[in-house]
A and B are shown apart, each in its own frame.
Chain A
Amino acid sequence: MRALLVEDDPLLGDGIKTALEREGYTVDWFMLGREAISAIGNETFSVLILDLGLPDMDGMQVLKLLRRQSTLPILILTARDAVEDRIGGLDAGADDYVLKPFNLQELLARLRVVMRRSEGRTSQILALGALTIDEVLHAVSWRGKDVKLGRREYALLLELARHPDRVLSRPRLENLLYGWDGEVDSNALEVHIHHLRKKLAKHLIVNVRGIGYRLDSTVQ
């Protein structure tokens, strides 16, 4: 899961990034609204966390601009607790909001909910044939047996499972693994895919030559 964080406060942004990364997210963090807008135009993210109090643009303005070009699930962070502000944020296109200061568990839960909702799911359990993924517990099972996965393997599998049967491009999957900061080894993606195939089933993840990978939901 790749999250886009737009937070102008260095201290808070740093804290959220650390916490999300611990949870298996890849986090791209920007301090300015316009940077976030250009990033959304170029990259694919699973969710956007947006602070409404930005220095260069009004958060509400950013929200409206983003909504015009993307259906990305958006969670807003706000210090304004007036009802009008919250309603305004939701009306401008946010999927949910978290009021500062927030409980980390609540933030994570709300992130899962908005992402799930954008995929049309209602449960925290993602089930595809013999594969089930519990997003809260980060637990994966295959044919009824629990499977132990590494952090990056889990993130990769979750991303593929969220978009079953759709081809996800190599750069998208690579970015997911490291975000923009990390250097990606040219064959790191292949290594992780190889591990996943070994732990699950060989034909579950199909290589689409020259483009990327897809998860075949018909494999039992």
Chain B
Amino acid sequence: MTSIRRYLLRTLAIALTVTGGMAVTAAYLITNHELEEILDTQLSLHSRIVAGQLDPSATIDDYARLASRMGLPQHPAQLYRDGIAVPVNSSDSDSKLYHEEELKLVLGFWNADGSPKLLGSKWNDAGPFPKPLKEGFRWESYNGHRWRVFSMFDVASDTWISMGLRGSFHNEVVERITWNNLLPMFFLLPLLLWLMNRIIRKGVAPIQALSSQVQGRSARDLRKIDNPVPQELNGLRQSLNDFIARLKETLERERRFTADAAHELRTPLAALRIHLDNAQAGDQQSLQKAYVGVERLQRVVEQLLILARLDQVATTPPATIDLYPIIAELVAEMWPLAEERGQHLKLKGLTQLKMSADEVEVGILFRNLLDNALRYTPQGGHVEVELALWEEAPQLIVRDTGPGLPEYMLDKVTERFRRASGQGITGSGLGLSIVSELVQRQRAILTLANRESSGLEVSVRWTLLKSHQTALIERPE
């Protein structure tokens, strides 16, 4: 992609030159045509006047006198008698050149039989000028020049009258007019190009300003772009700002995650260390507490690894699976643990629940939910897992009789490292965050609510199966 400025400048310069050239050409053609008409009219008009002045009874002497008037220096008019040139006495005062252009306008007379009678200056230079053959305008070549000639026959005097104008006269006028049109263009064109360049430069300056503002930024600079831009760039600036905002949000989340991860890793480590110190100082229970610290640390590390893997792995295309055997298997797996803690673990609801999801992800999701429920439920408490359909959508519900969550935590608890405090539980603070991540990947909805009695109810609701959906639509009412 070339620069807009250069593109505009180049195309406008070409357009300007072409239109300018066309204007001059048109002017040339029009001038040419109009001038020909004007000059032709003048030739015929002058010929008519001459014809009107011709005395039908004019003798050769009258023509001789006329010839002496028509002569020009070095180019005397020539009188003919019976086709033969007759010398004319012309005085110096008569053969005077008033204007250089006079050499280009010539008058001539012929007898009815075509023999020359009197030919003006220049028309005798290479023998007599060709005789007229018919009335009207014509082009004639004579002595290396082109002449525009008008001829008419005067019946009264029985004489052909021709008046001619050298073609170069016409051409010179046309050329001069054309040149006069062209000349200002040569001065104006560079001026116009210079002006255009300046205007374009000024016009694209906001684009450059905007791009340099983005270009010159360091990766850490995430301020909004707030310098004023023209209307056309408003959309771009808005999109850039939106992008910056999203980037900022992501970075902020990452930063918070790092800080939280540091906290969650270092706190059990600090606890572990201080309990070991205490154990060394002779405290009997401290060694046992140090083990709790190690266990917690291990769990945090494991959950972090799961999260990292989830962050990296692309979502696999969901297959149609039956939720029941997966859930039943995991419940069975956890049952001895619950038993050991004196908790009542129960699975109820549907025994077949087809849905579209990844089997492994569903497994991780459910294991975390169940793990949380068992972890927070006191001895003798109940944990209940239910499979159900909610408005035709598959739903997994885990209820416990633990302490539930404070209201302000309900919507925050899925953030990484959020953990209800003060319960002496060795959670990593990552379990629900993993669940939330997986739920998002599967386009399901996670709902957390405190139960009326006591405890928490967590439900995951998947969207309808695609085939199921179509089936629903096609079913006749």
A-side interface residues toward B, CB under 8 Å? 8-12, 14-16, 18-19, 22, 31-32, 53, 55-56, 77, 79-82, 85, 99-104
A81: chain B residues within 8 A (beta carbon): 262
- CB < 8 Å neighbour of A12 from B271, B277, B421, B423: B271
Q: Are the C-beta atoms of B270 and A102 separated by less than 8 Å?
A: yes
- Contacting pair A15 B271 (CB below 8 A): yes
| Chain B, interface SS category | helix
- The interface stretch among B77-85, B281-289, B309-317, B466-474 is B281-289
A100 close to B267 (CB less than 8 A):
yes
Q: Which residues from chain B contact A82 at a C-beta distance below 8 Å?
A: 259
Q: Is B281 touching A101 in the complex (CB atoms < 8 A)?
A: no
Which residues of chain B are near A103, meaning CB under 8 Å?
A: 273
B421 touches A11 (CB 8 A): no
* Complex alpha-carbon distance, A79 and B274, angstroms: 15
Q: Is the CB of A15 within 8 A of B289?
A: yes
Chain B residue at smallest Cβ distance from A80: B259
Sample of 13 further A-B pairs with CB below 8 A, known A8-B422, A15-B270, A22-B278: A11-B271, A11-B426, A12-B268, A15-B275, A15-B277, A18-B275, A18-B283, A31-B421, A53-B263, A55-B420, A79-B265, A99-B266, A104-B273
B293 in contact with A100 (CB, 8 Å): no
Interface size on B, residues (CB 8 A): 31
Residues in B neighbouring A31, C-beta threshold 8 A? 421-422
Asked whether B270 lies within 8 Å of A10 as measured between CB atoms, the reply is: no
Give 1 or 0 for each of B238-273: 1 = CB within 8 Å of chain A CB.
000000000000000000000100111111111111
Among B268, B292, B421, max chain A CB count under 10 A is at B421
Contact present for B292 and A101 (CB under 8 Å): no
Contacts of B399 in A (CB 8 A): none
The answer on a CB contact under 8 Å between B267 and A9 is: yes
A9 to B286, CA, bound (A): 16
The answer to the question of B296 belonging to the interface, with a C-beta cut-off of 8 Å to chain A, is: yes
With a cutoff of 8 Å between Cβ atoms, the chain A residues found around residue B277 in the complex are 15, 19, 104
Bitwise, B54-75 to A at CB < 8 A (1) or not (0) is 0000000000000000000000
Q: Is the CB of A15 within 8 A of B274?
A: yes
Q: Are A101 and B266 in contact (CB under 8 A)?
A: yes
Enumerate chain B residues within 8 angstroms of A16, measured Cβ to Cβ.
274
Which residue of B has the minimal Cβ distance to A14? Answer: B289
> B262 to chain A: which residues have CB within 8 Å?
79-81
Determine the residue in chain B with the shortest Cβ distance to A56. B421
In the complex, A10→B259 CA distance in Å?
A: 20
**Contact call A100/B270, Cβ cutoff below 8 A:** yes
**Inter-subunit contact A104/B274 (CB<8 Å):** yes
Cβ-defined contact, B272 with A79, below 8 A: no
Check A11 against B268 for contact (C-beta < 8 Å).
Answer: yes
